[in-house]
A and B are shown apart, each in its own frame.
Chain A
Amino acid sequence: DIVLTQSPATLSLSPGERATLSCRASQFINTYLAWYQQKPGQPPRLLIYEASNRATGVPARFSGSGSGTDFTLTISSLEPEDFAIYYCQQRSSWWTFGQGTKVDMK
């Protein structure tokens, strides 16, 4: 199985700051990586697919990059509604998820 390792586990930031989240795959996955946002009591929401493509309706402050084994989700300027848990997911070999990064308010 392909293991996805996300870092950091928690990111404490203030509104307006830049958030940088990492996801590392245990083996090569090309650009077959997605990012999801989950808020309490809600299902995950697809933000980024194929490493760098924003899903429909996702604000431009969210961007994804990377290929191979190392990937990054960047939120350029945090809005209050962005404080949530973020998961990465690979689709290179079935589907697996990372353990999540919680972005909370400092």
Chain B
Amino acid sequence: EVQLVESGGGLGQPGRSLRLSCIASGFTFEDYAMHWVRQSPAKGLEWVASIAGNSGSIAYADSVKGRFTISRDNANNSLALQMASLRPDDSALYYCAKAQSLRWNAHFGSWGQGILVTVSS
């Protein structure tokens, strides 16, 4: 059974940094692209960032480009999102998601339970 468990959220101040982590189990982690998606009442579901299984392809939404960095450690089945220069509109529930197939741009087949990030002074 696929399991994705996020951690590291909480309260962050505007302009500061936070790091999210996601530990994966139940599948061959290095074979699949992984994603971060966020959800807020204002913006709904919003794709944030993606990384291929071998880290050879990485993509970011325009709203986070230059501020967020996605990375993965295949040896430890972990995914990370380093968030810098935080803004209040980065406040959301952040999900870690696994690609539905081996294709880089597949839909999102499995999701974690999410971790809340609140950006406020």
CB distance from A38 to the nearest CB of B (A): 8
Contact assessment for B59 and A94 in the assembled complex, using a CB-CB cutoff below 8 Å? yes
A87 at the interface (CB under 8 A from B): yes
Central interface residue in A36, A43, A97, by most chain B CB within 10 Å: A43
Chain B contact residues, majority secondary structure? strand
A20 at the interface (CB under 8 A from B): no
A89 to B105, CA, bound (A): 12
Choose one: A36, A46, A50, A95; the contact of B47 (CB below 8 Å): A95
How many chain-B residues does the 8 Å CB contact rule pick out? 20
For A46, what are the chain B residues with a Cβ–Cβ distance below 8 Å?
100, 107-110
Q: Which residues of B contact A (CB under 8 A)?
A: 35, 44-47, 50, 59, 61, 95, 100, 105-114
Q: Which residues of A contact B (CB under 8 A)?
A: 34, 36, 42-46, 49-50, 55, 87, 89, 91, 94-97, 99-100
